[in-house]
Chains A and B, each alone.
Chain A
Amino acid sequence: MKKIDRREFLKTTGTIATTTALAGCGVNTKDAQQNLDPSGHHTGPVPTGKMTYRTNPKTGEKVSLLGYGWMRLPTKKGLNPDNPNDEVIDQEEVNRLTNAALKYGVNYFDTSPAYMRGRSEESLGIALAQSGRPRSSYYIATKLSNFSPSQWDFESGRQLFENSLKYLQTDYVDYLLLHSVGGGGLDNLRKRYLDNGLLAWLMEQRQAGRIRNLGFSFHGDVAVYDYLLEHHEEYKWDFVQIQLNYLDWHNDDRGRDAEYLFGELQKRGIPVVIMEPLLGGRLSKVPDHVVAHLKQRKPEDSVASWAFRYAGTRPEVLTVLSGMTYMEHLEDNVRTYSPLQSLDEEEMRWLDGETANLIKSYPTIQCNDCKYCMPCPYGLDIPGIFVHYNKCVNQGNLPESQQAENYQRARRAFLVGYDRSVPRLRQANHCIQCRECVPHCPQNIDIPRELARVDRFVEQLKQGTL
C-alpha cells in the first residue's frame, strides 16, 4: 500500500542503489534490525506441534483446524515449453508449501477436478507423494465437479471420480463432496446427481470404503440446501461445506447467510467444513480505516487472523479451508491456529456486527477471485478486473468526483494500475454482456452488470467527466 509519486520513486531507487553500493562496501545495515527482540504473537518462529485439532464424530479422526485449499496455488510463467506465457503451477514451490504445512500439523487437503484449470488434483497427488508421509497421516478431500451439461450423465460422473483417484495417487478419498450444489437450483441438482443415479453410486462407494466421508459444498439457491438436509436421513451427510465468515454471518442473500446455513447443520449435528473464511483475501486486504479498527484491538495480530479466529471458534467446525499461495499466508494461519485463541461472544458480535458493517460501507465488488467464471469466452480477465477495482477501493484510489482532493493521483493510480493488472484486450470494455459467466459465480455477482459499472467508471476517469 505504498503510494509513491515520481519524486519519491526516484528517491527510493536512488536510496536502493546507494544501499546496495554500501552493502557492497561491507557496511551491513541489517544488523541493527536483527538485534530487535520480537514480542508479539505473530512474530518469532512458527510454532510446530501446537495445532488445534477437531474430531470427526463418525470416524474419530483428528482433523487440523487449518485445512489447505488447493485452489490458489502459486503459478509461474515459462514452465510450459509450448507457450512460455502460460501460467503453470509451480510444483516445486507447491511441494515446499506442502512439506511445511505437514510439518506444522496441517492434515486436511481440499481439491477439485475443476481447480487450477483441472491441474489441481494432479499437483496435490504429486505433493503428497513426495512428502513421504504415510497415507493415513493426512486426509484428502475432493469433489465431483460435473458443472458442464456435457458431464451430467452417470458415466462422466463416475469417470470424474475414478480420474480423481488416479491423479491423487490413492485408492480412496477421505472426504468427497458434491461440488457447489445450489447453482442452477433443484433442477440442476437433479440432473447432476439424482436422476442419473450418481449420488446413489457414491453412497455405494462410501459403503465400499472408497469414500470415507460423503458431503456437499453449497453456494447459491438455498432451496437445494434445504432439500439435501431434509433428506439427511436418507443420504446421511458426514459433513457439509459452507461459506462462513464475519461478513456473511448476517447476509441479506439467504444463500450466503451463514447464520442460517450453520444453524441448520448445528441442529442436525453435522460437522461443518468452512470455505471462504477470508473471502479470497477480501478480509485481509481491507481499507486503511478497517485495518486501524482491527489493529487497535490487537496491534500485533494480522488482519487475516481475526477472520480465521472467527471461522474457527465455533466447536462444530471441523476445519477451516484456506488457499494459501505464499509461505507467509501459511505461517500466519498456522500461528493463528497453534493453538486457536477462541473469540468470546463480545468479540464475535463486534466482528459480524460493527466490523462487517464498516466493510460493507465500501463499494467493493464481492469477488473472491475463485476464477469459477473463467475462462470468459471473450477473453476477459473477470477476476483480474474486480481485484484491481477492489484494490483501488481499499487504497482510496476510487475518486468520487473531480473535486476529490486526491483526484489526479487516484485517477493515475487507477488507470495505470488497470493496464498493469489486466491486459487491455482483457479489460471490462470488451464484455459483450453474453451472461455466460453468471451461473458460474458462487457469490451470485451479476458479473456483466459489475463489468459495465467498472467500464463506465473507467470511461469517466479517461474522459474527465466524473
Chain B
Amino acid sequence: MLRKIRLTLAIFFWLLVTWLLVDFTGTAHQYLGWMAKMQFMPALLAVNVGVLLFLVVLTLLFGRIYCSVICPLGVMQDAIAWCRRKRNKYIFSLPHSKVRHGFLLATAALMLAGMGWLAGLLLPYSTYGRIVGTLVAPLYRMGNNVLASVAAHYDSYAFYEVDVWLKSVSALVVSVAVWALIAVLAWRFGRLWCNTVCPVGTLLGFLSRHAVYRPAINQRRCNSCGLCERNCKSQCINSRTHEIDLSRCVMCGNCMEACRKGALTLTSSPATSAEQPAPVPAPKAVADKPRSNAKPAKKTKAAEKEAESTSNAERGRRKPATKTAPEKAAKPTADKPAKPIAEKAARSAEVKTAGPAAEGSSQPVDVAGQEAEGEKKDRRRRSRRTAIATTAMLLTGGTLVRAQKKAEPKTTDGGFADITPKEKPSRQRPVLPPGALSARHLQAQCTACQLCITSCPNDVLRPSTSLSSLLQPEVSYERGYCRPECNRCSQVCPTGAIQPITVEQRTAVQAGRAVWVKERCLASAEGKPCGSCARHCPAGAIQLVPASDKYRRGDHGRWYDAEGHEVDGRTVPMIPVVDEEKCIGCGACENLCPVSPYSAIYVEGNDVQRDI
C-alpha cells in the first residue's frame, strides 16, 4: 500500500517536473513552477523558509520520502533500476560515510566559494535538469514540431513550430556523461549515487535517522529469508542483524511489499522494535549503525577479517548472524549456494565504487574543463577570423557585406536572397539574463539546472562555455533578442539566481550596453540609409545623427548643409548613436542588424546589472 502511494506520487511528480523542464510555452510554469521551487537545494539557495521547514518536518516524520517522491533524479534512478529484469539482486553494504561527508563538505565549500556550477554538478535537481534540458527537451520540441505541422495542415493554431538547436556542446557532453554514470550505478547498485554522492541525500540522511515513522523488522515474524535485503535498492537493510540504516533508507516501501511474513512494517517509534524480545537492543544498533556490523566481526576472531578479505564471504556474513540469532543459524537458507558468487561480485564492486564514484564526479568536471578549453581556442580562432574579416571589410570599404547581399543585378522576378546566419561576437563580458543582478551573484546562486534556458521563448539563453560559469545561463542574440515583454527566466528560476522581476522592471534593468562598430555599419561603410537598430530599440536608446558635422537639423525636420543650404533629409547619411544610460542591452539592435555574420551593433554585458 505504502509502495503504491509512493509510486503514484513519484510518477506524478516525476512526469510533471520533467514536463516543466522541457516546456517552452510557459504553460507548465504557470501551474507547476512550484515543483522546481520546492526542490531542496533551490529552496535552500533561495532561502525559501516555508519549503525548507516543510521538507525538514516531512523528513523528520517520514524519513527521506523526498528522495523517493519529490527528487526527479531519484525517481529516474528507480526507473532505470526497474528496467532491469532481475530487480531483487541488491545486497546490504556498509555506508561510505567518509565519501558521503566529503561530498557534502565539498558542496558546501563550493557554494560558499561562489562556484555554483561546480557544486551544481553534484546536486540532484540541477543534474536532472541538465539531463532533461539537453537530452529530452530537443526531442520534446521535435515532437511538438510534428504536431505543429499536422496542426498547420488543418489550419489550426493549437501548436506552433519552434527551433531545435544544439545550445552547447559542453552541456551535451556533461549531461550524457553524468547520465551514463548515474544510469550504470542505478542499474547495478540502486540508490548508490543518492547515498554516496548526493549532498542532499546525505543532509536529509542526518534527519531521517531520527524519523518518527520508519520501517522496522519484527523479529518474531522474520525468518531471515533476506528478501527485504535483496529488494532494498538503498542497500541499507541488513537482514542478518535485522537492522535498517535509516540514513540511507528512502522510504520506498519495496521491502514491506517483498516480505512474505509481514515482518516489515512502518512503526511510529524506535521503541516498538525494542519491545520485541530481541537479543540485541535495537536502539543501540540504530545509534551506532556504521560500526554495528564491523564490531562483531572484529570481536569474534582476528582471523575473521582475513577471511572476509580472502573472499570467504559466506563465513564472514554468517558469523555475526549466528551470534545475533543462534536459533536460526542451523537452518540453511534455500539460496545459500547462489550467494557466495553474487556476494563476491557485489563486494568487489563495492570496493571499486568508492573509486569510480569519486572519479565519476570529477570526470565531468574534467570533460567540461577540456570542453571549455576547446571553446576558448575556438573563440580565439573565431576572434581571429573576426579580425581578418574586419580588416578585409575596412580595406574593401564594406563591399564584403554588399557582395553577400547582391551577387548580381536583378533581372528576373521571384526567389530569395541567401541569408548569412549570425555568429556570436566576442564580448568582453557576457550578457546575463536580466534579474541576475551581477556575474558574481549568478555564479554563486545558479546550479545550472537549465530551466531558464529551455523555457526561454526567444532562444536567447544558452549555457555558458566559460570556465567560471560553465553551463550557467548566458545571453546571446544570434537567434532572437531579449524581448521587452518577457520576464520568463526570472519567473522560473527556482534558486533566486535570476531574481523575479516584473515586465515593467525588466525594461528598466540594464543587462548590457549596445556598442556600434563603425566599420561594419551599412550607414557608415556604404552610406546606405538603414536605421534598423534605431527603429527597433524598445528603450529608445538609439538615435540617428548625421554622419558628419556638415549637416545641421533645422525646424520642421529640415536639413541644412555647411553653407546653410537646405538639403533633402533623405540624402543626409545618418549613423546610429547609443545613449548608454537608456540602453537595456536587450539585443534588438544586434539581432535585427542587417549586417551578417557579425552585426554592426552588438551588446556588451554589464558586470553588475543596474536600474535605469
Contact = CB atoms under 8 A, between A and B. Distances in A.
Interface of A: 1-6, 8-10, 12-13, 113-118, 145, 147-151, 370-372, 374-379, 381, 409, 412-413, 416-417, 419-420, 424-426, 429-434, 440, 452, 462-464
Nearest to A432: B530
29 contacts: A2-B154, A3-B155, A6-B158, A8-B156, A12-B154, A113-B412, A116-B413, A117-B413, A117-B414, A147-B411, A150-B409, A374-B414, A375-B410, A375-B414, A375-B416, A379-B418, A412-B157, A413-B157, A424-B480, A426-B416, A429-B592, A432-B522, A432-B531, A433-B529, A433-B530, A434-B529, A452-B535, A463-B483, A463-B485
Given A13-B150, A377-B405, A420-B161, 12 more contacts: A4-B154, A5-B158, A9-B158, A117-B413, A372-B413, A374-B413, A375-B414, A376-B417, A379-B416, A417-B157, A426-B419, A434-B529
Contacts of B151: 9
Given A4-B155, A416-B160, A378 B594 contact: yes
B277 interface: no
B484 interface: yes
A281 to B, nearest CB: 16
Nearest to A464: B485
B525 to A, nearest CB: 13
A118 B411 contact: yes
Contacts, number: 122
B610 interface: no
B481 to A, nearest CB: 10
Contacts of A420: 152, 160-161
A4 B159 CA distance: 11
B87 to A, nearest CB: 37
Contacts of A6: 156, 158
A232 to B, nearest CB: 29
A409 B538 CA distance: 25
B411 to A, nearest CB: 5
B405 A378 contact: yes
A327 to B, nearest CB: 20
A122 B156 CA distance: 38
B411 A425 contact: no
A114 B413 CA distance: 5
A220 B408 CA distance: 25
B528 interface: yes
Interface string B526-550: 0011111001101000000000000
B406 interface: yes
The residue in B152, B156, B419, B532 that gathers the most chain A C-beta atoms within 10 A of its C-beta is B156
B415 interface: yes
Size class of the contact patch on chain B? 35 or more
B154 A13 contact: yes
A419 B484 contact: no
A318 to B, nearest CB: 24
A432 B156 contact: no
B412 A4 contact: no
B417 A377 contact: yes
A2 B161 contact: no
Contacts of B484: 463
Contacts of B409: 148-150
Nearest to A463: B485
Given A377-B417, A378-B405, A379-B419, A118 B161 contact: no
A420 B148 CA distance: 9
Given A379-B418, A434-B530, A416 B157 contact: yes
Contacts of A430: 532, 592, 594
A432 B528 contact: yes
Nearest to B405: A377
Contacts of A115: 412-414
Contact of A117 (B415, B532, B536): B415
Contacts of B419: 379, 425-426
Nearest to A5: B158
Given A116-B414, A374-B413, A379-B417, A2 B156 contact: yes
A465 to B, nearest CB: 8
Identify the 3 closest CB pairs spanning chains A and B, nearest first. Answer: A118-B412, A6-B158, A4-B156
Contacts of A2: 154-156
Interface in B147-189: 150-152, 154-158, 160-161
B417 A378 contact: yes
A10 B151 CA distance: 9
A276 to B, nearest CB: 15
A434 B160 contact: no
Nearest to A75: B414
A16 to B, nearest CB: 9
Contacts of A440: 410, 413
Nearest to A421: B152
Interface in B400-431: 405-406, 409-419
A51 B538 CA distance: 59
A115 B413 CA distance: 6
B154 A381 contact: no
